Amino acid sequence: MNKIALPELFASMQQQMSAQLSTNRAFIHHPGSKGDSLENAWIEWLRSYLPNRYSVDKAIIIDYLGNTSHQIDVVIYDNYFTPFIFTQNGFHYVPAEGVYAVFEVKPDIKGSVKGSGNYITYAGEKIESVRRLTRTSTSMINSGTPVARRPLTKILGGFLATTNTYSHKNNNTIKQHLEKLDGLKGIDLGCVVDYGSFYVDYNGEEDITEDDFSKRISDYYESRQFDDVNFSKAENSLITFFMQLTRYLQQAIGTIPAIDLQAYLNVIGEEIDQEL
């Protein structure tokens, strides 16, 4: 039986991913700042490796009440069960129901934003602006069978950077910043290309007896407690981040619930037929 050396295969994939990201970062230019180019590089990188069922863009997230999030650097979202995406003046507006994951992008994980503190805290505030939006859920047909409306899915929050210039390279500073994020601000995973990927362990579960799905998911985020953060080796940063992200998307979240289109049409006083 022929065998393949998996460590060498993973190392090759890491190099391929790193080259893809570096190429995108060097040659994708968006009018404005270097930050736009870096965001586009991560977007193109994720588009290259994620299955086609996931769309990736920078966007503002909206709900049927007209509330909006901050502008999000990288959004992974559904365009199958969430069939409309608004585009206006170059900005995408994605309904909250369609969102799988949101990421803040910075060149360096070390840094600060005036009024928000360090970059990790700032990322948490942007993630919170998405998770606090009101999402709908409605019944649907699956393989010809009617399915009742489903509970809301978790929205992943993450951080993407190229480097880590903290003077102490022992993870403690990053861990301390992550641990301070409470409630809807919590970060689930991230990647610092030349330092390593990471994921955060939390203690706490959803109350599956709660029938108010909005309350259930909000209570989950508000009550879960930081446990620990786990870092990969620097040389495996992109491959481990990609594997962790894919695991979350496919095995922890799965398919998002169907959007209640009537909730959005209510704002213009129109109705759609609920039967065929």
Backbone angles phi, psi at 200, to 5 degrees: -105, 130
Cα(38)–Cα(105) distance, rounded to whole angstroms?
7
Positions marked catalytic: 73, 104, 106
Q: Which of 8, 11, 53, 51 is nearest to 238 (CA)?
A: 11
Copy the structure tokens of residue 251. Answer: 């095995």
Would you call 177 helix, strand, or coil by DSSP? helix
Cα(184)–Cα(182) distance, rounded to whole angstroms?
6
* Crossing angle for the helix pair 34-49 and 6-27, to the nearest 10 degrees: 140
**3-state SS record for 8-54:** HHHHHHHHHHHHHHHHHHHHCCCCCCHHHHHHHHHHHHHHHHCCCCE
Sign of CA dihedral 244, 80, 259, 69: positive
Strand partners, 198: 190, 231
